[in-house]
Amino acid sequence: MAITKVSEFVESSGQKDLSAEAFELESAHMLEVKLSGRVWAKAGSMVAYRGAVKFVRQGMLEQGLGNLLKKAISGEGNTLMKMEGQGRVYLADSGKKITLLRLDGESIFVNGNDVLAYEDGIDSQITMMRRVAGMLSGGLFNIRLSGRGVVAITSHYQPLTLAVSRNQPVFTDPNATVAWSGGLSPDIVTDISFKTLLGRGSGESIQLKFAGEGWVVVQPYEEVYLQHKQ
């Protein structure tokens, strides 16, 4: 086991500015936000900050009555917070890998639990899969992100992106699905025989079918989502 001097540890693990971008990865699992104005982030994801920063939990009607009603119906609890002011904020989510994506007018769908942060110019809208919500513990909701700006999403370990075409649809486990392109609208299919063969509970018996032209991102991990009580 290697032993490191304190000075060497401080130097190697110290914060570094390698980019002028507002979002910068300090590591694969830590995001630095150079805050100058407002940024939306997952509530509870702040691990450190410096400067004059104000954290405000998302207001009930800030992102529209439609989103509020969907939250109430689905019971989903990925509450967002506003980070406002001037300073540096460091975000993380249970050691998950962070990926930064720049939207240039397009839209993407992201599993609600995998949205870490996004710039203020990005528009967000909650979408629901009601059939899945009744089958999986905690249900499944997604956030449609569109516009221009940077989005930070998370995944357990290294994600894999699969191409989707009209001639070759892709089937995924909902608990392992991270994101997909805005032009796709997944269908929900069930496979009782698959469930019986594997002896699993709700997992592989419910699948998302992606057909059309686009892509879908999966992670090598089946995440269990906890239902939040209202």
Q: Is residue 105 part of a domain?
A: yes
CA angle 82, 121, 23 (to 5 degrees): 70
Name the pTM for this structure: 0.82
* Structural domain span for residue 103: 19-218
Q: Is residue 100 part of a domain?
A: yes
Q: Is residue 223 part of a domain?
A: no
Q: Is residue 2 part of a domain?
A: no
Percent of the chain at pLDDT > 70 equals 77
Taking Cα atoms as reference points, which of 139, 153, 123 lies closest to residue 70? Answer: 139
User: Taking 80 as the threshold, does the pLDDT of residue 96 lie above it?
Assistant: yes
Assign 131 to helix, strand or coil.
helix
pLDDT band at residue 37 under the 50/70/90 scheme: very high
Instruction: Give the CATH number, domain containing residue 72.
Output: 3.60.160.10
Select the more confidently predicted residue: 58 or 221. Answer: 221
Cα gap 70→227, rounded to integer Å: 14
Q: What is the pLDDT of residue 194?
A: 56
Q: Is residue 9 part of a domain?
A: no
From residue 37, alpha-carbon distances to 25, 57, 96 in Å are 19, 16, 26
Q: Is residue 159 part of a domain?
A: yes
- Sequence-distant (6+) residues with CB within 8 A of 81 are 40, 41, 42, 43, 46, 55, 56, 57, 58
Q: Tokens in use for 59?
A: 């207001």
Q: Is residue 124 part of a domain?
A: yes
| Count of domains for the chain | 1
Q: What is the pLDDT of residue 161?
A: 97
Select the more confidently predicted residue: 107 or 196. Answer: 107
Taking Cα atoms as reference points, which of 30, 217, 31 lies closest to residue 142? Answer: 217
Q: Is residue 199 part of a domain?
A: yes
Select the more confidently predicted residue: 19 or 115. Answer: 115
Amino acid at 141: F
